[in-house]
Amino acid sequence: MGEQHTVKFPQEVIDEYAAFGVDLPALFSAGHLGTRMGVQILEASAERVVGTMPVEGNTQPYGLLHGGASAVLAETLGSVGSMLHGGISKIAVGVDLNCTHHRGVRSGLVTGVATPVHRGRSTATYEIVISDEDGKRVCSARLTCLLRDVKQGDADQVPAAG
């Protein structure tokens, strides 16, 4: 669960980050929490981010997918989209997340698809639809991120290109 794999990024985005010595796949991974939860990002651009997460290991006491797990998947995908929209000079910080849970899931993988609702200079908002393996909507989420300028010291937190 949570092993690293290659995420599909647009070539121009890869080139932009590589010019600054940034390891884009490491930067836009699901992070430590996402890794523990088995989140995998399959596709990433400012226009669309797709990722999956197993239900197993992410359930509440009744054996259903935990709503907090859906929130982690939603915030991960929306944050990746926001970061890609903001570009190398911005850092995306989540400021509002809401999730509506429509149905329970007991097994398999859920897939989240994040698409932009608003992409501005200082904020980005993404709608994230999480579906089960049958394509039935499990959760509808919306994430707004503040896009703040990179500050000195932020570089210490960015994975360097190999």
The answer to whether residue 3 is domain-embedded is no
What does the pLDDT look like over 28-69, one tens digit per residue? 666 788 889 999 999 999 999 999 999 999 999 999 999 999
By residue range, what is the domain housing residue 48?
Answer: 11-156
The answer to whether residue 88 is domain-embedded is yes
> Phi and psi dihedrals of 9, rounded to 5?
-120, 150
Q: Which H or E run contains 136? A: none
Kind of pairing between the strands at 137-149 and 90-101:
antiparallel
The answer to whether residue 38 is domain-embedded is yes
Where are the alpha helices (H) located in the chain, listed in sequence order? 11-18, 24-27, 31-37, 67-86
What does the pLDDT look like over 120-148, one tens digit per residue? 999 999 999 999 999 999 999 999 999 99
| pLDDT (0 to 100) of residue 161 | 46
**Where does the pLDDT of residue 4 fall: very low under 50, low under 70, confident under 90, or very high at 90 and above?**
very low
Question: For the domain that residue 34 is a member of, what is the CATH number?
Answer: 3.10.129.10
The answer to whether residue 1 is domain-embedded is no
| pLDDT (0 to 100) of residue 20 | 72
Q: Which of 48, 60, 28 is nearest to 39 (CA)?
A: 28
The answer to whether residue 80 is domain-embedded is yes
**Integer Cα distance of 37 and 56 in angstroms:** 9
The answer to whether residue 83 is domain-embedded is yes
Q: How many domains does the chain have?
A: 1
pLDDT of residue 95 exceeding 90, the answer is yes
The answer to whether residue 37 is domain-embedded is yes
Q: Which of the following is catalytic: 3, 12, 75, 127?
A: 75
Q: What is the mean pLDDT of the chain?
A: 87
Kind of pairing between the strands at 123-131 and 137-149:
antiparallel
3 is catalytic: no
The answer to whether residue 42 is domain-embedded is yes
